[in-house]
Amino acid sequence: MAITPEEVRRVANLARIAFTDQELEPFAAQLSAILDYVRQLDDLDLGGVEPTAHVHDAVNAFREDEVRPSPGQDAMLANAPDREDGCFRVQKVIET
């Protein structure tokens, strides 16, 4: 499948990635090669293969829940670079 430089530009714009015009052609060729390689999976006969979620048998090793005392607010905030009213204080990241 041939990916065009315009398709690379469109996807890069959606992903907020800046490419120069000189970078578009090589990226289009590389993405096309990757998709062609992945397309080879369509040629495999997987009729007798059972679907799996993991290569190895995965077993959850959860411990039993037990009530334990918490370290306390002062201990939890001891390494906080900035705090206010018993909470972590962080910089504003969203403009209003």
At the top level of CATH, the class of 5-43 is mainly alpha
Spans of all domains in the chain: 5-43
User: Whose CA is closest to 81, among 91, 93, 95, 92?
Assistant: 91
Residue 6's pLDDT is: 93
Do 1 and 39 meet the contact criterion of CB atoms below 8 Å apart?
A: yes
pLDDT digit string, tens, across residues 58-82: 788 888 999 999 999 999 999 999 9
pTM exceeds 0.85, yes or no: no
pLDDT digit string, tens, across residues 50-60: 888 777 777 88
Is 38 in a helix, a strand, or coil? helix
Is the pLDDT confidence value at 95 over 90? no
Cβ atoms within 10 Å, residue 4: 13
pLDDT digit string, tens, across residues 3-51: 999 999 999 999 999 999 999 999 999 999 999 999 998 899 988 888 8
